[in-house]
Structure 1
Amino acid sequence: MDAEFRRGARLAVDWGKARVGIAACDRDGLLAYPVETVPTGPGTLKRIAELCAEYEPMEVLLGWPVNLAGWEGPAAQQMAVVADRLSDRLALPLRVVDERLSTASAARKLAASGKSSRNRRSIIDQAAAVDILEQALEYEKRTGHPAGRPWPQEG
């Protein structure tokens, strides 16, 4: 391992067309947990900034849409606009991380826990954010490098 795990809380954001799921973790990266689902709209960035002030993360991880073949398509272009707006709004490092299958994984976990499909709809975005965060934490612990890439992109 080239570097040790960076201690510090993190927030993960799963940005969707209708809702944004937010998850957080403790300073040691042992527990990722759901925080809130925020409706997508004019107040979304403000609410995320408020959550950053409350949770004091060292960085924010934004789910980045990549298709199953690993290509970035129109969804990534739309997310770049969101990432720019979020980066401009927050006084924190922002990293974009692969969110492939995070919603599908979250849906499977919720179904396995016995949540009805009606109940899953209200928390699926938070669960997807938890999945994104767990994957990022695991990657950093395994490799010693932060997951994803910094935003804005360098170069």
Structure 2
Amino acid sequence: MNNTTAAPTSDFPTEGRIAAVDYGTVRIGIAICDPDRILASPLEVHPVTQPDAGGYEADEKYFCKLAIEERVSAWVVGLPIHCDGGESDKSAEARKFAIWLKRVTQLPTRLFDERYTTVAANQKIRQSKTTRKKTKKRIDAIAAQVLLESFLEACRYRGELAGNDLEDVSSTGESLID
């Protein structure tokens, strides 16, 4: 991966484990790759702390511990984008979460278009012949895996860092497709 063409403000490392987050208001799917960034695997699904109990602010210990235990060097947070390239309230929520995640873990964080990750995750699950109960529990982690695989492939294909720096992203509703 050639980091020289990335935005000058990017502090995203060129090696080490990346964790991908499929942010949701009920569950957060998490996937992680190996240090060589070849294989991505679903890790777990974390239940979101409800707003009256502090929201994701209450989850600070969880994400800091996860980063240490899994030796995470950076995060990729899925950014929900409509098929036409527009954004929604969910996009703003994911952006806010990504900024918070970077602040609390002190790890570089990028946003990456997550269109079709849930569709691809559902296809993977159907092919695996997993029970319906297990499917419901794992779908968000598998969506995070698809997100991470897409991010890693985009970086390899382009020969540069994919996605968007948090500082590069505006909330104007413009397309974030690079």
Normalising by structure 2, we get a TM-score of: 0.79
- SS of corresponding position for 1:58: strand
Would you say the 8 A contact 2:77–2:94 is kept in 1?
no
Cα RMSD, aligned residues only: 2.0
Structure 1 counterpart SS, 2:46: strand
Q: Deviations over 1:119-152 (max 9, x none)?
A: 2100001100100000000011111212211124
* CA deviation profile, 1:68-124 (whole Å, cap 9, x unmatched): 111112211222221222122111100010111111110111011101332210000
Partner of 1:45: 60
Cross-structure match for 1:36 = 44
The answer to whether residue 2 in structure 2 is matched with residue 3 in structure 1 is: yes
Q: Which of residues 51, 54, 66 in structure 1 aligns to 2:81?
A: 66
Matching of residue 101 in structure 1 with residue 136 in structure 2: no
Residue ranges of structure 2 left out of the alignment (5+ in a row): 4-12, 50-54, 171-178
Question: How high is the sequence identity, in percent, across the aligned residues?
Answer: 31
Verify: 1:133 aligned to 2:143, yes or no.
no
State the 4+ residue runs in structure 1 displaced beyond 6 angstroms.
none
Unaligned stretches of 5+ in structure 1? Answer: none
CA distance in 2, matches of 1:90, 1:3: 25
Deviations 1:32-75 (A, max 9, x none): 01111110114433212211111222210001110111111221
Q: 2:71 pairs with 50, 56, 60, which one?
A: 56
Q: Against the structure 1 CA distance between its residues 45 and 107, is the aligned structure 2 distance closer, same or farther, given a 3 Å change threshold?
A: farther
User: How many residues of Structure 1 are paired with residues of Structure 2 in the alignment?
Assistant: 154
